[in-house]
A and B are shown apart, each in its own frame.
Chain A
Amino acid sequence: MHIPDGYLSPQTYIPLIGVFVTTTAIAVKKVKNELSAHNIPYLGMAAAFSFIIMMFNLPIPGGTTGHAVGSAVIAIIFGPWAATIAVSVALIIQAFIFGDGGITAIGANCFNMAVFMPFIAYYIFRLLCKFPTGKPGVTFAAFISGYLSLVFAAILTAVEFGIQPMIASTADGKALYCPYNLSIAIPAMAIEHLLLFGIVEGIVTALIINYFLKNERDLVYAFRKGGKNETR
């Protein structure tokens, strides 16, 4: 899901850089108000975890590869605003040091995986936890939150790819940037994430949420009202 340089037109990547920078500025203020010093080492670990999990490329046999992102679990435990910053740090380091994801596409990639995805995940989780179903219910909510948020982020990425032929083509109909239109990009990205990568994101999310509920329940953002003085 890391869009490389050259796949997005400036009409797409420049506004997305603007959206990403604005969101990050808000995230900094929110994290300052919402999280206590106890969270600091965890946030470093969360960003590192996101970096590591994205290295586990999984194959669609005979086809493409993909991976989980970790945004969903980070959003549930530390809040979507903290997830925005943590996953962005991982994505920016991947782009600059390892060439994974383009430099011009940093705004787009961060928006898709570090802004859109954690917020979708967080609100799906909160919604599903409203049903009083106990611990299995929370596990299920965590799985669905990871699964759907990755699928939706993949579809958003596919839309960014797919609108490129409409935005910029030469006179003889050749695309200037991503050559695939929406009718190819959306099914391709949606199906692989529905069938495999989303399931992995769901399982990872559910496992870690259970681990934190057992070991450090008070920390979990989605179960607090927000406000760093309420716990610890």
Chain B
Amino acid sequence: MLSGKGVRMKLDKLQKKILVILLSLCLITPIGILLPMVFNAGDAWGEWSAHTLKDLVGYVPQGLAKYSDLWEAPLPDYAINTTDTSVVHQSGFYIVSCIIGATVTYVVMLLISKLIIKGGK
């Protein structure tokens, strides 16, 4: 069963090294918004907002209009403040979003794995 240690686990040398690599990757994620800007690339295919889709096909499909605002994410588009369009600030928000998201993902997956792998013992 889960010990009292919660999400704390003893990590070996290689595992600590991988965590450092992951954190470093978080710090360079702004590449993911800067490169598309430099090469003038837009949304991913099929991920347009209802507004952009209207420009593309001339109308907003009825069903799409009904569903598209179903969920209001707390940090939409990995930005802390979507109205602040300065590239430097957006890069900073992107890094913070990455660290928040990756940390939550890591902890949730760690807990799930513990429950699955140790739960049966």
Q: Mark B1-44, 1 if CB is under 8 A from A, else 0.
A: 00000000101001100110010011001011101101111111
Residue from B62, B67, B94, B113 within 8 A of A43 (CB atoms):
B113
Specify the main secondary structure of chain B where it touches its partner.
helix
Please tell me if the beta carbons of A36 and B117 are within 8 angstroms of each other in the complex: yes
Please tell me if the beta carbons of A2 and B102 are within 8 angstroms of each other in the complex: no
Please tell me if the beta carbons of A97 and B73 are within 8 angstroms of each other in the complex: yes
Please tell me if the beta carbons of B31 and A56 are within 8 angstroms of each other in the complex: yes
Q: Mark A48-65, 1 if CB is under 8 A from B, else 0.
A: 111111011111111111
Please tell me if the beta carbons of B61 and A40 are within 8 angstroms of each other in the complex: no
Question: For A31, what are the chain B residues with a Cβ–Cβ distance below 8 Å?
Answer: 113, 116-117
Q: Mark B67-102, 1 if CB is under 8 A from A, else 0.
A: 111111111111000000000000000100110111
Please tell me if the beta carbons of B22 and A48 are within 8 angstroms of each other in the complex: yes
Please tell me if the beta carbons of B101 and A64 are within 8 angstroms of each other in the complex: no
Tell me, rounded to whole Å, the shortest Cβ–Cβ distance linking B78 to chain A.
5
The answer for the CA separation of A172 and B59 in the assembled complex, in Å, is: 13
* CB within 8 Å for A102 and B67 given contacts A41-B9, A215-B14: yes
Interface size class of B (residues with CB under 8 A): 35 or more
Q: How many residues of A contact B (CB 8 A)?
A: 75
B residues near A (Cβ < 8 Å) are: 9, 11, 14-15, 18-19, 22, 25-26, 29, 31-33, 35-36, 38-47, 50, 53, 57, 59, 61-78, 94, 97-98, 100-110, 112-114, 116-120
Q: Give 23 A-B contacts (CB < 8 Å), ordered by A residue.
A: A2-B44, A2-B47, A6-B66, A31-B113, A32-B119, A35-B117, A45-B15, A48-B102, A49-B22, A52-B98, A55-B94, A58-B36, A59-B39, A59-B40, A64-B41, A64-B43, A65-B41, A65-B42, A67-B32, A94-B101, A102-B70, A176-B62, A179-B53
